[in-house]
Amino acid sequence: AQSVTQPDIHITVSEGASLELRCNYSYGATPYLFWYVQSPGQGLQLLLKYFSGDTLVQGIKGFEAEFKRSQSSFNLRKPSVHWSDAAEYFCAVVLIELGDTGKLIFGQGTTLQVKP
Amino acid sequence: EAQVTQNPRYLITVTGKKLTVTCSQNMNHEYMSWYRQDPGLGLRQIYYSMNVEVTDKGDVPEGYKVSRKEKRNFPLILESPSPNQTSLYFCASSLYLAHYEQYFGPGTRLTVT
């Protein structure tokens, strides 16, 4: 079935450690790709997006993500995590090549806990 | 301040009692959308609207209605709520389409007993 998958439901890292959150998609075409973050009790905020071009994209709050077509992945990274990064992170896609410009499809989310 | 507002923020209701959750944006955005968030399922799109009087189904439209009579407002209507519609609901808007940055409201926590 076509989907967006975030394999890790929950991740705990120590403050200052590096972080990688995984996202895989299974669609016939390459979608537009996004990472959103949801802080506790808040709505979602866009971290970064990939449409085309350079496969390494920079976002806000020191995050970056790399698109790998061969692996159908768009993993989110941060070199040094801060306690304020504790939140839920969502990968999302828009199936532009299929003409589905109105639908934003989310993964299940990954909850990040940061240990002091 | 540019924002998306939702009302109410919290609602407890009973099965079958019609309710409306309002959503309003002050950014002159063309695109608006409703999502529900459930543990382990992420956010799922209910309905979206690309412009006034233009609405379309998302992935989970059953049991919901929407209307877009004005650009700034996009209410979500539950004609006959059921317990399986207990969820956290988010409204969002963007300049044009789904791949433009979505601006989310603060959420509405709905409980149907």
* Interchain contact, A43 vs B56, CB within 8 Å: no
Report the range of poorest mean pLDDT among A63-67, B39-43, B105-109: B39-43
Task: Provide the percentage of residues in chain A whose pLDDT is more than 90.
Answer: 78
- The larger pLDDT score, comparing residue A102 to residue A66, is at A66
Percent of chain B surpassing pLDDT 70: 100
B-chain residues within 8 Å CB-CB of A9? 40
What pLDDT, in 10s, does the model give residues B60-69? 999 999 999 9
- What are the tens digits of pLDDT across the range B95-106? 988 888 999 999
pLDDT for the residue B99: 81
- The whole-chain average pLDDT of chain A stands at 93
CB B58 within 8 A of CB A103: yes
Query: From its phi and psi, is residue A23 left (phi > 0), alpha (psi between -120 and 50) or beta?
Result: beta
**Would you state the pLDDT for residue A1?**
63
The answer to whether A107 contacts chain B (CB < 8 Å) is yes
Contact A92, A37 (CB under 8 A): no
pLDDT tens, residue by residue, B26-47: 999 999 999 999 998 999 999 9
pLDDT of residue B51: 93
Q: How far B1 CA lies from chain A's nearest CA (Å)?
A: 16
Q: Which helix (H) or strand (E) element contains residue B35? A: strand B31-38
Of A42, A102, A109, the CB nearest to B48: A102
Q: Which residue of B has its CA nearest to A95?
A: B99
User: Mutate which of A23, A34, A44 to disrupt the B interface (most B C-beta within 10 Å)?
Assistant: A44
What average pLDDT does the structure give for chain B? 96
Number of Cβ pairs < 8 A linking chain A and chain B: 65
Q: Does the beta carbon of B74 lie under 8 angstroms from any beta carbon of chain A?
A: no
**Cβ of A98 under 8 Å from any chain B Cβ?**
no
Kindly report the nearest CA distance between residue B47 and chain A, in angstroms: 9
Q: Is B13 helix (H, G, I), strand (E, B) or coil?
A: strand
Q: Taking the CB of residue B13, how many other CB atoms lie within 10 A of it?
A: 16
Per-residue pLDDT, A6: 96
Rounded Cα distance, A9 and B52, in Å: 38
Question: So what's the pLDDT on residue A30?
Answer: 81
Query: At residue A97, does pLDDT exceed 90?
Result: no
